[in-house]
Amino acid sequence: MSYFSIAWQWLTSAQQWHGGDGIPVRLAQHLQFTGIALGIAVIIALPAGLAMGHLRRGGFAVVTLANFGRALPTLGLLVLIFVLTPGSPASWLVPLAFLAIPPILVNTYEGVLGVDADLTDAARGMGMTEWQILRKVEIPVAMPLILLGLRISAIQVVATATIAAYIGLGGLGRYIIDGLARDEYNVVAGGAAVIVLLALAIQGLFTLLRWLIVPVGLRRQAQTS
Amino acid sequence: MRNKSSRRAAVPAPKRTTTRAAAAGVAALACLTAAACSSSGSSGKSSSSSNPLAPSSTGSVVVGSANFPEDELLAQIYVDALQGKGIKVTPKFNIGAREVYYPQVVKGAITIIPDYNGALLTTSVDTKSTATSTADVNAALKAKLPSSVEILNSAPAQDKDSITVTQATATKDHLTSISDLSSVAKNFIIGGPSEFKTRADGIVGLKSIYGLTFKSFSPLDESGPITIATLQSGKVQAADVFTTTPQIVTDHFVSLADPKNLFAAQNVTPLVYQKGVNSTIISTLNAVSAVLTTDALLQMDKALVIDHASYTQVASGFLSQEGLK
């Protein structure tokens, strides 16, 4: 039997859909880990990226931080923080947030930095304040890249949130880790399938979001992202 | 063969038998490469164990070890003890998993290896065995092992799964054995590797053998850092921890006794190639096993892993302390 069919069989059996180990509960836990980590990354990275892009400085810091974030072994960090502070949410939150920050920060910074200087000069000439320039000119123009950063982060985090199961927490990773430990490959395949579908759903959500909030005039450019 | 003269010097032996031992060595070496060597075991079954004074096997014996620190330490102890009796030993440590070394012992390429009786039985000798107590496991091994190999006396030392609690919990709830958990289990969250939840020697057996139902199960790792940290933090009140995990000493944990043998015995037991050992070797290894307790092994593992002492230091320290050196 192929992995697709055993995954499908597992997914469609009724017992997977209720109880503490059921897909709805695990999905909710997974989305909770993803949402909180992503939220914290947005709170840190989005304002920082906008400010550095607008002020046109800090590029070196952005690149360094991005490389640092990419090089950080998520699983290692997870275990390290867990052993230092057993049971605190920091053990999953910090590694996931570190994973999410670089794409948001880099793309926001590059997006705002890349806004045509003629546009901002014209806005300034029309008497806009710096805040108005950022809000009415730079953010809308940079929106395709900002959304790209958010999308990359969201997909990375939703895929990596599976590691929370490694330290005994819930989420969809439970299926993969428990299934492997118990030689239940249908559970592994089924759980992996749910995570793939979730990642695809997030991709779809961002496509929709881009269509809704990127100005019509920029949408052709946005296709390239 | 290089040792032939020195061996003869050490133990004055009739020339004929020495040559035969050398020939057996050649045969054993050939076995490493030749596929058909099962017959080599049939020729001289009468040599060592039936006639313990036969000098044919007082030559160099090969002491092997599996590829993890505790087994290498045990092998080092065997080497030290045997050398103390003037026996020529060739150490061959860090060979691999049982799947790798076991066939080599059966063939005689390895003479002695420290093994764990329960795991030896269920992974290499009889995968369907349900024996759990030390006596049952050893009886099953003696019945099922191929004729070319045998086990010597098991040490009291065991490296096996245990339900482990913190010293504070043990004192507060008066816990020394798994049976003592009966009144508190319903308030305890128990941790262990994922498979612990579904294994017969896990949550299932805790209920069927000891009648214990815990508040909940928390999936952790295999007696690793996650388990240690979670147990220490109090997020779980009991956890599956191996009995020789050094953190039991450093973090003050208590492994609860298992009077009903939920977990199969894992006594340290020398597995030997029958024709390669004589009475001196057997009595030396049995003397080591007699004094090797779980606590002694735990302290040595701690010295090795936490204090970074060397294998030779720890091994000779143990033997001196026990008066075997």
| Rounded Cα gap, residues A207 and A82, in angstroms | 36
**What confidence category does residue A62 fall into, taking pLDDT thresholds of 50, 70 and 90?**
confident
Give the pLDDT confidence of A88-107 residue by residue, as tens digits. 889 999 999 999 999 999 99
* Numbers of helices and strands, H then E, in chain B: 13, 10
Q: Would the ipTM clear 0.85, i.e. be above it?
A: no
Which domains are assigned to chain A? 3-13+33-222 (1.10.3720.10)
Give the pLDDT of residue A221: 56
State the amino acid at position B26 in one-letter form. Answer: V
Put simply, the answer to whether A181 touches B193 (Cβ < 8 Å) is yes
Average pLDDT, chain B: 85
Residues of chain B with a CB closer than 8 angstroms to some CB in chain A: 191, 193-195, 197-198, 218-221, 225-226, 228-230, 232-233, 235
Which domains are assigned to chain B? 4-158+268-321 (3.40.190.10), 161-255 (3.40.190.120)
For a pLDDT cut of 70, what percent of chain A falls above it?
A: 96
Residue A219: enclosing H or E segment and its boundaries? Answer: helix A216-222
The residue of chain A with its CA nearest to that of B228 is A83
Whether the per-residue pLDDT at B244 is higher than 50: the answer is yes
Give the pLDDT confidence of B257-316 residue by residue, as tens digits. 999 999 999 999 999 999 999 999 999 999 999 999 999 999 999 999 999 999 999 999
Which positions in chain A touch B232 (Cβ < 8 Å)? 86
Q: Angle between the A185-213 and A23-55 helix axes, to the nearest 10 degrees?
A: 40
For a pLDDT cut of 90, what percent of chain A falls above it?
A: 62
Place of tokens 């033997």: B319
Instruction: Measure CB to CB from residue A86 to each of B194, B195, B233 and give the nearest one.
Output: B233
Give the pLDDT of residue B57: 45
| Rounded Cα gap, residues B75 and B90, in angstroms | 11
**CB-neighbour burial class of residue B26 (10 A; exposed 0-12, middle 13-18, buried 19+):** exposed
Nearest-CA distance from B206 to chain A in Å?
18
Does the CB of A87 have a partner CB in chain B at under 8 Å?
yes
Q: Across residues A49-77, what is the average pLDDT?
A: 88
| Rounded Cα gap, residues A98 and A91, in angstroms | 12
| Rounded Cα gap, residues B306 and B50, in angstroms | 44
* B311 DSSP 8-state letter: H
Give the pLDDT of residue A185: 87
**What confidence category does residue A198 fall into, taking pLDDT thresholds of 50, 70 and 90?**
very high
Report which of residues A216 and B316 the model is more confident about: B316
Give the pLDDT of residue A1: 61
| Rounded Cα gap, residues B99 and B254, in angstroms | 32
List the structure tokens of A208. 């929709």
**CB-neighbour burial class of residue B311 (10 A; exposed 0-12, middle 13-18, buried 19+):** buried
| Rounded Cα gap, residues B69 and B75, in angstroms | 10
Whether the per-residue pLDDT at B160 is higher than 70: the answer is yes
| Rounded Cα gap, residues A219 and A213, in angstroms | 10
